[in-house]
Amino acid sequence: MAEVSKKRIIKAGLIGGAVFSIVVLIVDKLMGRDFSWLRLVFYFVFGVIMYGFLTYRSFKRHQK
């Protein structure tokens, strides 16, 4: 079986985390919350981890 590409997983995680952070930032702005760097960094890190994990699982599932 072919090896799962780590570059693709990292790239997908970073892009997914960035998009997730932007969406959360927009929703926060619409709800009237103040901007917080700490909250934005938390959501970015959370998004990168979750999207990276989901991408990894998806690649592993398609290899079977």
Burial label for 7, CB within 10 Å (0-12, 13-18, 19+), is exposed
Q: Tell me how far apart the alpha carbons of residues 22 and 12 are, in angstroms, rounded to a whole number.
A: 15
Mean pLDDT, the chain cut into blocks of 10 residues (64 residues total) = 80 95 95 93 96 92 80
pLDDT of residue 2: 61
Q: Tell me how far apart the alpha carbons of residues 50 and 44 are, in angstroms, rounded to a whole number.
A: 10
pLDDT of residue 4: 77
pLDDT of residue 1: 47
pLDDT of residue 55: 92
Q: Tell me how far apart the alpha carbons of residues 50 and 58 are, in angstroms, rounded to a whole number.
A: 12
- Residue 33 carries which DSSP code? P
pLDDT of residue 7: 92
